[in-house]
Structure 1
Amino acid sequence: MYSAERSMARHEVREVEQRQTRDTLRDPPLSPDIEDLVIIYNRVPKTASTSFTNIAYDLCAKNHFHVLHINTTKNNPVMSLQDQMRFVRNVTSWREMKPGFYHGHVAYLDFTKFGVKGKPVYINIVRDPIERLVSYYYFLRFGDDYRPGLRRRKQGDKKTFDECVSSGGSDCAPEKLWLQIPFFCGHYSECWNVGSRWALEQAKLNLVNEYLLVGLTEELEDFIMLLEAALPRFFTGATQLYRTGKKSHLRKTSEKKPPSKESIAKLQQSNIWKMENEFYEFALEQFQFVRAHSVREKDGDLYLLAQNFFYEKIYPKVN
């Protein structure tokens, strides 16, 4: 599938010639709006969120922005109404923390409802729903190589994911797949009603209308490359940093065993999987669309396109 995506980028995006020589190109000075920019990454668990966030931590001093972790009690992704008000007020008025990169396991929050000026830029990453659930299942039991000494909630349970599925266990039930949709749907009661078609459609609308970019765990490098192009104020140097393969940018769940075809087939029979997978496929198609119109391929590598628009017929004429 990956080679097909590369091919799509090659065929759908026409190579453009540089209209100006490099020494005539000048970046405009940073505007106050850029310096007030806030990014919110409402990270979905087990989607490579720690790997990506660590890049922001490594870049913040060099690129002069602030990184803040949103730590909610018991990792509850839904805030109380009063906490929503506090959070919106903090994000919009905390000038000492601007420009800022906020990250945490919280559901999407619509800032326009609170009567404030200025909205944050939302980004996120999604993952194949079954792969995400398998990773989370083993993470609860064995942890990962990021903090290997930390005791996890299900530590000591040696049952494999396949054994859980075959016995009808609760930790691998289809209901546990219902996570990426409500994270994008937000702070509405219907978002958290498992299997809600309304929640799925709302999540899709938010993805295309409220998120600058939603990447894929399976395509993390391309996601980072596009972010660096779109938001250089924050992500200059991010692609190279990711490619160096430093340990701080990697996090692998320990003792993870791939699920059997039988386990996958059983989960795929549920309407919950079908809806979560529909959302994932929707996000995948949108990401491929953005990438196909932002890059070209040469010798097997992707390169960002140069600016492909300019201004002309500017009136009135200036002497």
Structure 2
Amino acid sequence: IPLRVSRRDLVFCLTALLIFCLGSVFYQLNGGAPKVLLDVGYYLGRFADGHGPLAPRALPFPSQVVYNRVGKCGSRTIVLLLRMLVDRHRFTLISSDIHNKTRLTKREQENLIRNISTTPQPFLYTRHVHFLNFSRFRTDEPVHINIIRDPINRFLSNYFFRRFGDWRGEENHVVRTPGMKDDERYLDMNTCILESYPECSNPRLFYIIPYFCGQHPQCREPGLWALETAKQNVLDHYLLVGVLEELEDVLLLLERLLPHFFSDVVNIYKSPEYRKLGNMTGTVRKQIPNLEALQVLYERMEYEYKFYNFVKAQFHLTKRKIGLRSDPKPSRPYSSVLQRKDLQEELEEEDTEDSLEWTEQT
């Protein structure tokens, strides 16, 4: 029996096919279905059986992000930006006020991981804490992000910040270090370094690596084991570890890799509203050690610089993969010449990092 198709039916079928083809092309070009189609599917599912609760909307991927921020490495900048983004992108931001407990017992790790994992998704959790291995406690692994900076510059920023605070008010240092005596507060940095005061020598200079090595006691011992463990954790667990010297590129990558959390962050970072707030967090009264003290400091930070250079190479590799072609800031040649002029320029730049109690290292 010949199949009879009216002209009206044929036009309907061809129109439906055309819409399907255009929708498919649109889907592929934009990395997914357009929002209108998702909304249509959502409400069709809602009314499919005529009753019942709404079907849950799909969460963005990834929907769990942990930023175990390193002290004096730009974390105040990132947290400030996140607070300006949280309402716009509708995610949960938990910024812990605990600054002086980076190392946890097994029970404390388990409790913290459980609390983080039960946060309404999508969420971003941030705290000064050494790397937490979620898989060790059979919990879904979140995405980890972080930022580090040149180790000597991080040390200098912390040294003067804990003594004299920042532009929000120099009296802040009294709150952070109320028990510090004047002879310690005004201790000359060259004396501290060259005479090997505890504050200016290992193990307190071994600071950045433990944030990536983890909670194992050996992670706090300057050496090859902690260095290699930290490197492997970066490769296995971190979506991105940026360098503060290229902060704008870090923000651009966060926009592309985690758009649900960081979309439009660069525009906010460049806005007058942010600049007014960000300029208040620069450390005051910074000074430069002499070349002899800098050389000693660099030698004591051998493993820190090996890790920093590894992270910077991985960061530049990620930039190339994403197609980001910005000009990186020239590296400071601490390993060779240690130019005073270069260091002076570095110290005079805006210092927008989070505060961190010195008791973390005691």
Q: Same fold (TM over 0.5)?
A: yes
- Which residue matches 1:165? 193
- Which residue matches 2:146? 124
Q: Deviations over 1:156-202 (max 9, x none)?
A: 41223223223332221243221111110001111012x22111100
Q: CA deviation at 1:35?
A: 6.9
* 1:101 has 2:124 as partner: yes
In structure 2, do the counterparts of structure 1 residues 132 and 166 end up closer, same or farther at CA, with 3 Å as the change threshold?
same
Q: CA deviation at 1:291?
A: 0.7
- Alignment check: 8 A CA contact 1:140 1:155 kept: no
- Which residue matches 1:310? none
Q: CA deviation at 1:127?
A: 1.0
In structure 2, do the counterparts of structure 1 residues 274 and 36 end up closer, same or farther at CA, with 3 Å as the change threshold?
closer
- Alignment check: 8 A CA contact 2:189 2:289 kept: yes
Runs of at least 5 residues in structure 2 that lack an aligned partner in the other structure: 1-24, 39-56, 329-362
- Which residue matches 2:263? 236
Equivalent position amino acid for 2:64 in 1: V
Q: CA deviation at 1:147?
A: 5.4
Aligned equivalents of 1:296 and 1:214: distance in 2?
A: 16
In structure 2, do the counterparts of structure 1 residues 26 and 167 end up closer, same or farther at CA, with 3 Å as the change threshold?
closer
Structure having the higher Rg: 2
In structure 2, do the counterparts of structure 1 residues 268 and 94 end up closer, same or farther at CA, with 3 Å as the change threshold?
closer
Cα RMSD (Å): 2.5
Identity, in percent, stands at 31
Aligned equivalents of 1:57 and 1:71: distance in 2?
A: 14
- Which residue matches 1:83? 108
Q: Deviations over 1:100-129 (max 9, x none)?
A: 11111101011001122x211100011111
- Alignment check: 8 A CA contact 1:43 1:104 kept: yes
* 1:246 has 2:275 as partner: yes
Spell out the pairing of 1:39-58 with structure 2 (5 A cutoff).
39-58=65-84
- Alignment check: 8 A CA contact 1:51 1:248 kept: no
Spell out the pairing of 1:207-222 with structure 2 (5 A cutoff).
207-222=234-249
- SS at 2:209 equivalent: helix
- Alignment check: 8 A CA contact 1:44 1:183 kept: yes
Aligned equivalents of 2:148 and 2:286: distance in 1?
A: 19
- Which residue matches 1:314? none
Q: CA deviation at 1:294?
A: 1.4
- Which residue matches 1:61? 87
- Which residue matches 1:32? 58
Aligned equivalents of 2:136 and 2:93: distance in 1?
A: 25
Equivalent position amino acid for 1:166 in 2: L
- SS at 1:246 equivalent: helix
Aligned equivalents of 1:213 and 1:219: distance in 2?
A: 13
In structure 2, do the counterparts of structure 1 residues 146 and 60 end up closer, same or farther at CA, with 3 Å as the change threshold?
farther
Match of 1:288 among 316, 319, 336: 316
Runs of at least 5 residues in structure 1 that lack an aligned partner in the other structure: 1-19, 302-319
Q: CA deviation at 1:86?
A: 1.5
- Which residue matches 2:299? 269
In structure 2, do the counterparts of structure 1 residues 49 and 240 end up closer, same or farther at CA, with 3 Å as the change threshold?
same
- Which residue matches 1:3? none
Match of 1:256 among 286, 289, 299: 286
Aligned equivalents of 1:204 and 1:248: distance in 2?
A: 34
- SS at 1:122 equivalent: strand
RCO comparison, higher one (Cα < 8 Å, 6+): 1
- Alignment check: 8 A CA contact 1:41 1:104 kept: yes
Runs of 4+ with >6 A deviation: none
Spell out the pairing of 1:108-147 with structure 2 (5 A cutoff).
108-116=131-139, 118-146=140-168
Match of 1:186 among 214, 231, 255: 214
Q: Deviations over 1:123-171 (max 9, x none)?
A: 0011111111111110110011245432231474122322322333222
Aligned equivalents of 1:38 and 1:262: distance in 2?
A: 46
